[in-house]
Amino acid sequence: MGKTVTEKILEAHLVEGKMAKGQEIGIRIDQTLTQDATGTMAYLEFEAIGIPRVQTELSVCYVDHNLVQSDFRNADDHRFLQSIARKYGLYFSPPGNGISHQIHLERFGLPGKTLLGSDSHTPTGGGLGMLAIGAGGLDVAMAMAGKPFYLVMPKVYGIKLIGKLQPWVSARDILLEVLRRLSVKGGVGYIMEYFGPGVKELTVTDRASITNFGAELGATTSVFPSDENTRQFLQSQGRADNWVELIADSDAVYDEVIEIDMSSLEPLIACPSSPDNVVKVSEVAGKPVAQVLVGSCSNSSLRDLMVVAKTLETREISRDVSFEINPGSRQVLENMTAQGDMLTLVKAGARVHQAGCLGCIGMGQAPSTGTISLRTFPRNFPGRSGTKDDQVYLCSPEVAVASAITGKITDPRDLGSYPSFSLPKNYLLGDQRIEAPLAEGVAGEIVRGPNITPFPKFDAIPDTWSGKILLKVGDNITTDHIMPAGAKILPLRSNIPAISEFVFDSVDHDFTVRAKASDAGMVVGGENYGQGSSREHAALAPRFLGVRVKLVKSFARIHKANLINFGILPLTFENPADSDSIEQGDDVLIPGLRKALETGLEIIAVRIGDREISAKLDISARHREILLAGSLLNWAK
């Protein structure tokens, strides 16, 4: 039986376990990336491991999230990260240089390699034929130390593409269609692999837009083959020697398959407040728009900004719209400027910001009260924009620019002929500000600002655990709900005591007070608990407050791994209906917990109030050892 691209890469990197679906495997990681919002803690964790230099083929430290320097804290973190990169042998990309995923695609990604990143949108590299996976910072720190990355052997979801995109329909619409069909939890347990004759119609940046946005399916990652289009992209980047062909065998078998006829797609849009709330643009056309943002790691490539600029050559932005551009990288900025397209954007009324994440993680660009904001971003979770009760829609650059021109949600096909443009055969590389690793032993001391606090120490799991239910929540709780982002909170990522004050702040403002008043606590939730960002602070900060158990109907992959890494027991209801009888404030007792972990018990008896329920503990033997030790770092030491 033939092999998929996924299976070929996994097989080439397998170091532990057998490639049997549902079994834990360990794979070798070739490359890592971090961004500053998660990276500061990841490097504190790497330091705690105690080795002198990263052990990967290549590791890159990017600064792209915390770019607003309203006080010393973000700037201090950036100096810390630069000194870490110099000391431990990493590449360093400074603030303003661009978004990690866009730059990595341009300058570092390699077909057939594995990439682990402390950001949930790391799968962007799948557009280049990499197996690129998002994970918590501690998992990335372990990979930098030369340790395998562990995951449950996923199923492979084949997405067969046929046909060709019509004018004003873009790659973004392909993934919106997948989200419409499968939902934000439809990819859990899968790697999404794209194949079929339609693949050759998509450029690498088209593919990267799809694999990036594919993180919202809850999938482990997404991947495209490496073919002639991949070779052409690498050649345009001056990296033709990095190309290898990597395609699925003709008789490869996928666990599930859906087919998308790209010729039949029309412009789509995700309505508030979930990426899978997808409808045709024509169904919501005419709604007034006050803000339009183009950029973020999903759609900030040269191709995306060129289509915007070319559309605006003979048009201007509505006076009722704040139209803002977040370029993906310095390379994008340099090529837009050289081609004259930047002048077009400015003259049309665009506000061009520095290359970075910005509004996607609430770092500025909050919309006005009661108005609609259209964004080419990957997420529109409630309040993520920085405005309470926001109305954020997710769309393609084509829909974004058309709506910015008219001042209302607009099907771009109404504009008439699609603009013609072509991408450069040879890009201006724009990588001159990236620092290469220094030779071992050359770098000086680590620079630490006063906001950078030591990594907290955690105790081993007790024989019997007791506590209170501190909070009960519903389905699709995101890591934004657990640990908010934004300009107020993101600067505290390197200070666990300070950032812990904001755990569940948007859900229950009194949560931290209750947690501090209790010796130990549990959180109860619904389906797909912990979806969204890879931010390990959504596990680390609750653990700091004494949360030791989470009992839910189902977990998102990265968050479940992060919980285990920090010694929080991830239980799921054996009978989901048991959730109905549980109340916030109930007393909880789990007798014989340590013995249950040691003996491999999969059903755990949990006493809540005056009744007992059964909970499942679906984890590997290695995970049990980590929980017994109290954290991954304890276990590793």
Q: Tell me the per-residue pLDDT of 559-584, one tens digit each, with 9 for 90 and over.
A: 999 999 999 999 999 999 999 999 99
% of the chain with per-residue pLDDT over 70: 100
- Token pair listed for 245: 């062909």
CA-CA distance, 286 to 372, in Å (whole number)?
12
Report d(CA 234, CA 232) in Å as an integer: 6
Which residues is 588 bridged to in the sheet?
467, 608
- Cα→Cα distances 380→296, 387, 389, Å: 12, 11, 11
Smallest Cα–Cα separation from 122: which of 130, 114, 133?
133
State the Rg of the chain over Cα.
23
The pLDDT tens digits for 614-627 are 999 999 999 999 99
d(CA 492, CA 69): 13
Average pLDDT over every residue of 212-228: 97
Place of tokens 């130990």: 520
Instruction: Report the distance separating Cα 211 and Cα 298, nearest Å.
Output: 9
Region 501-509 average pLDDT? 93
The pLDDT of residue 1: 85
| Nearest by Cα to 524 from 474, 581, 563, 484 | 474
Which residues partner with 611 through β-bridges?
A: 608
Residue 441: pLDDT band with limits 50, 70, 90: confident
- For 77, 96, 468, 480, the CA distances from 483, given in Å and listed in that order, are 19, 25, 20, 5
Q: What is the mean pLDDT of residues 392-419?
A: 98
Q: What is the pLDDT of residues 335-371, one digit of tens each?
A: 999 999 999 999 999 999 999 998 888 888 999 999 9
Give the pLDDT score at 346.
Answer: 96
The answer to pTM > 0.85 is: yes
Nearest alpha-carbon partner for 544 in 553, 552, 536: 536
The pLDDT of residue 425 is 94
How far is it, in rounded angstroms, from Cα 50 to Cα 91?
20
Instruction: Give residue 206's pLDDT.
Output: 98
117 phi and psi angles, rounded to 5 deg: -130, 145
Query: Could you give phi then psi for residue 211, rounded to 5 degrees?
Result: -70, -35
Q: Positive or negative, the Cα torsion across 513, 514, 517, 519?
A: negative
One-character DSSP codes across 120-132:
TTGGGGGGGT-EE
Convert the pLDDT of each residue in 245-275 to its tens digit: 999 999 999 999 999 999 999 999 999 999 9
Q: Are 59 and 140 in contact (CB under 8 A)?
A: no
Which residues, listed in sequence order, are joined to residue 613 by a DSSP beta bridge? Answer: 606
Mean local confidence (pLDDT), 316-339: 97
Is residue 200 pLDDT above 90, yes or no?
yes
| Residue 69: per-residue pLDDT | 84
Asked if the domains 268-415 and 465-636 are classified in one and the same CATH topology, the answer is no
The 3 state secondary structure assigned to 605-630 is EEEECCEEEEEECCCCHHHHHHHHHC
Q: Hey, what are 300's tokens?
A: 């900030």
Query: HSE (CB half, 13 Å, CA atoms) of 550?
Result: 30
pLDDT of residue 371: 97
- Which residues does 578 contact at the CB level (< 8 Å), separation at least 6? 613, 614
Domain segments of the chain as ranges:
5-264, 268-415, 465-636
Q: Which CATH class is domain 5-264?
A: alpha beta
pLDDT band at 523 (very low <50, low <70, confident <90, very high): very high
Bridge-partner residues for 270, per DSSP?
278, 394
Other beta carbons within 10 Å of 515: 24
Confidence of residue 71 (pLDDT cuts 50, 70, 90): confident
pLDDT digits (tens, 9 = 90+) for 128-140: 999 999 999 999 9
Q: Are 573 and 613 in contact (CB under 8 A)?
A: yes
Residues marked as catalytic: 64-65, 119, 379, 533, 535
DSSP state of 387: S
Q: For the chain, what is the mean pLDDT?
A: 95
Give the SS3 label for residue 572.
strand
CATH node for 268-415: 3.30.499.10
DSSP of 79-133, one letter per residue?
HHHHHHHHHHT-EEE-TTBB-HHHHHHHHT--TT-EEEESSTTGGGGGGGT-EEE
The phi-psi region of residue 370 (left if phi > 0; otherwise alpha if psi is between -120 and 50; otherwise beta) is left
Cα gap 421→437, rounded to integer Å: 37
Which tokens hold the place of 132? 């690129």
Pick the CATH number of 465-636 from 3.40.50.2300, 1.10.3720.10, 3.20.19.10, 3.30.70.270: 3.20.19.10
Hey, what amino acid is at 426? N
Query: What are the respective helix, strand and coil percentages of the chain, to the nearest 5?
Result: 35, 20, 45
CA distance 556 to 543: 18
Q: What pLDDT is attached to residue 486? A: 82
Decide if 613 contacts 589 (C-beta within 8 A): no
